[in-house]
Chains A and B, each alone.
Chain A
């Protein structure tokens, strides 16, 4: 019989090796960068810079704008992804003819590389040859073609749409699996208690789904914070920096401005932000701290 320690090692090493090798070396590197003056476009050698990069960022209007854009983007996508996937999952968990096909269908957008789906949405909203303009004209909403990608809010929504479309299947699947694992007795008990549909949903489904909703919220927030491909393909940060999300800005700082110090500082800030966000979700869903059965 394998000893407990040996079991632990056998179980943990395959999972944790890649994490530590590829997760913490870059993290260390980002830490190092964030406290270093490291700008390859100046003749100045890299040197220890303390919090200099952070101060420089706080004075950078574009950084503030990128933060705002990311915040707006998250405010649009996170609730939408959560609601759409919850709705889809509830629908897919119901029983009606053809639901099995729908279950497969609902997962399809996931199999499409984000690069491709972004292209499709870009063609969709194309100024001259796009479907959307034609549709709007036919419906009489507008009387001549409009460049949707050149208006700040519509551009942001188009990027969000491309993002949401690809990012709802996973939460849907998670919530669906969660709903299907709800013991029937719980519903029956609630039914006997005379609870109405909504009350039943709140009492049983919602309570049961809470930890999964947490994952969904974290997942959608993280994917909003990391959204890169749609920006790159659809708007390149425009118009007027309105859709310049923090990742795109970091990318610019890193590979266009070659300012590795700033890029590192942004990374650490995003890291902190993400940590805070996750903590906030834990609190909001009243799960206490992570529940580990020890």
Chain B
């Protein structure tokens, strides 16, 4: 160190601080400018939401043949470019589908954008920046938020014939193709399928168990036997990451048959009703924690199981049961490369047999609809190609086939909400080859309930509270529950009750913050 440099004088230092302060002032001025910009359009209150939802449910129940209007689309007056936002699943297939579409529709272009692993964040970032993709996947929680913000458009507003597709959809699933705020059909189906109860039949027979469990007490019992016989250290696993809400609903449904008006967590005014001893949620938590603490048939490491984790764990025989496996992952657990290939199968959700499911739709942005009639027509053509009926990649409701839906199920076992797709003999044969028993699966299709998403309604903060079924980020209940697994909470009734009271408080606070 040469001592030649002078230490900067006090005056200079103050000058620098002054410079920073000046920058702050400029920033403040700009901030003022932005703050003075015209306010965004007012968003509806959620009170309206509820009533609308109810009317929708009624409408769906009543409507048998929706109004039919002309289905022939006029030609495009200019070349249109449509951007299709996907998450990183089956990118190859999506690109191939886009290629087929483009070969048959030379007057427009469909191009695929992979919004990546953090799909929700990227989609919302694109929306917040005013540049959303034209058509994209929407899970119910994403759909709810974009509809609530009026970011997404209802396709039925522009093409009333979209409603005809409802007839092909399983009745229990129809609700999710309808915007709860407007009662209109907002998009078509990408995939829909139950969270099934999957198990390893080799483990069961090795343990001398004849039949899959009939109820959750039997699940616990069989897991104990399997553990005792040393077949599997922790027989019960679960899809933790994005299957967290579904896990609880499937256990609660195992004990309580859903009837119209059944509510597990909230009453009609969105007040928590779970924060007491003996509520379904309380019992479900108790059931799970007893498996973790008393039986030790569930590992405290259950939180490590994301979709890939639980599928490989099943396939390699490190777990026997999974109460909330996305149906197509049975195929993934049975791939020939894994040890237990061919042994993983499913049964109806133990107990009542009812299970929850996960529907994903194609949704279109309001911004795209505002670009003009040509873009509207183009998007509708794309949407019907991807989630509707086409012939040679051209919309054809009367004689066309569910081209992309069929491809999905045939290549990956990804199931659909359309009855014609699920009951197609070729598709059934394919499912069988993928080691998914189509009869069992369809039996579960008949016993589905919407309660995961309708307990009683979604709210904008629902996913932030429970944990999102479409993103790793966010969620209050999941981290708090993990305190049981790390040992920060004991599993006594009093502690469970405390936990429930705390998350009920979180819910109330979120509700209050949302101005309700």
Give A contacts to B, CB under 8 Å.
24, 27-29, 31-32, 35-36, 39-48, 62, 126-129, 144-147, 149-152, 207-208, 210, 232, 236-242, 244, 248, 251-252, 254-258, 260, 288-294
Contact = CB atoms under 8 A, between A and B. Distances in A.
A256 B121 contact: yes
Contact of A43 (B301, B302, B316, B515): B515
B124 interface: yes
Q: Which secondary structure dominates chain A's binding surface?
A: loop
A184 B5 CA distance: 22
Contacts of A288: 7-8
B269 interface: no
A289 B40 contact: no
Contact of B121 (A28, A35, A255): A255
B35 interface: yes
Contacts of A45: 39-40, 42
Interface string B227-247: 000000100000001000000
Contacts of A208: 1
Interface stretch (B51-59, B164-172, B279-287, B468-476): B468-476
Contacts of B7: 288-289, 291
A294 B486 contact: no
Given A147-B299, A291-B5, A252 B473 contact: yes
B160 interface: no
Contacts of A150: 299-304, 482, 485-486
A149 B299 CA distance: 12
Contacts of A62: 476, 479
B30 A144 contact: no
Contacts of B124: 255, 258
Contacts of A239: 303, 479, 482, 485-486
Contacts of A147: 299-301, 303-304
B248 interface: no
B27 A28 contact: yes
Given A290-B8, A294-B12, A43 B43 contact: yes
A239 to B, nearest CB: 5
B198 to A, nearest CB: 17
A32 B34 contact: yes
Contacts of B476: 62
Contacts of B114: none
Contacts of B45: 43
12 contacts: A27-B27, A35-B31, A43-B46, A150-B304, A150-B482, A150-B485, A239-B303, A239-B486, A257-B474, A289-B8, A291-B8, A293-B4
B316 A293 contact: no
B464 interface: yes
Interface in B304-325: 304, 312-313, 316, 318
Contact of B464 (A126, A257, A289, A291): A257
B486 A128 contact: no
Interface in B444-480: 460-461, 463-464, 468, 471-474, 476, 478-480
A126 B313 CA distance: 11
A144 B513 CA distance: 46
A269 to B, nearest CB: 15
Contacts of A252: 473-474
A258 B145 contact: yes
Contacts of B313: 128
B6 interface: yes
Given A28-B30, A28-B31, A251-B121, A256 B474 contact: yes
Nearest to A254: B121
Contacts of B40: 45-46
Given A239-B479, A256-B468, A256-B471, 16 more contacts: A36-B35, A40-B145, A41-B461, A42-B514, A43-B514, A44-B515, A47-B35, A127-B301, A147-B303, A147-B304, A151-B486, A232-B472, A236-B241, A236-B472, A238-B482, A242-B486
B514 A41 contact: yes
B464 A144 contact: no
